[in-house]
Amino acid sequence: MAAQLPHAHLTHPITLPDGNPHPGTVYLKNVIDHPRMEIGEFTYASDFDPPQDWAARLAPYLFPFSQEKLSIGKYCQIAHGVRIIGSSANHDSQGISTFPFAVFDPDTMLGYQPDTRDTVIGHDVWLGYGALITPGASIGNGVIVGAGSVVRGRIPDYAVVAGNPAQVVRMRFSEAEIAQLNALAWWDWPPEKVARARPLLEAGDVAALVAFGA
C-alpha cells in the first residue's frame, strides 16, 4: 500500500486502533475561522480537554478586532496547554500607570492597542507541553520549543529552545544544512510527495532529502 497522509480536509486526523477518530487532536485550519489568524495545512493541536473554540483556547487575547495577526505555518505540532499571548494583551507602559483606562471607555475601546506586533510561527515547529508564546515572537522553521518554555523575540530556524525566557539549547543542523532545508521547503510539496519522503523526513540525513527533492 502506498504511503499517504491523513487528508488535509479532516477535522480529526488521528484514527485510534478501534477505528474511531481521536477527539482531542485537530487540524487547526479546519476548526478555526478567525480573521486575524493564518494557519497552514497539516498543522495540528492536541488537548486533553478539547475546546469548542480552538482559537480562543490557543490565542485567548486575539480578537476579531485586534490589530495584529497570528501566523502559523504548515506541519506544526502544538501540544496540550500551549498559549499564544498576542499583542492585544499588552498594556501601555509609557505612562505613570499601566491601567488600561481606554478599554473601559466605550468611546475609546475600539482602536486602542498600544502594541500591534504580529506573532509568527514558521513551518514544522513543535511547541511542547505548556509552552507560552509572548507578543511579537517570531519562531523560525523547524524549531523545537521545550515544555513549559516562555518564548519571546526571534528564534532562529531549526533551534531547540527551553526555559524562561527560552534560550537556544542547541541547533538541530549546521548552517549549511539549515539553508538547504529552507531552500527545499518540503512543507510546500504536494502531500503525495511528502508521504513518499516520509522515511527521509523521519531520518536525519539532510543530503538524502535534498537529493530526493531535486
The residues carrying an active-site annotation are 91
Is the CB of residue 153 less than 8 Å from the CB of residue 161? no
Cβ neighbors of 87 (< 8 A, separation 6 or more) are 66, 67, 68, 113, 115, 116, 117, 118, 119, 135, 136
Q: Kindly report the CA angle at 8 between 145 and 24, in degrees rounded to 5? A: 55
Is the CB of residue 83 less than 8 Å from the CB of residue 60? yes
**Integer Cα distance of 172 and 188 in angstroms:** 21
Which residues are bridge partners to 166 per DSSP? none
**Strand-strand pairing, 77-78 and 126-127:** parallel
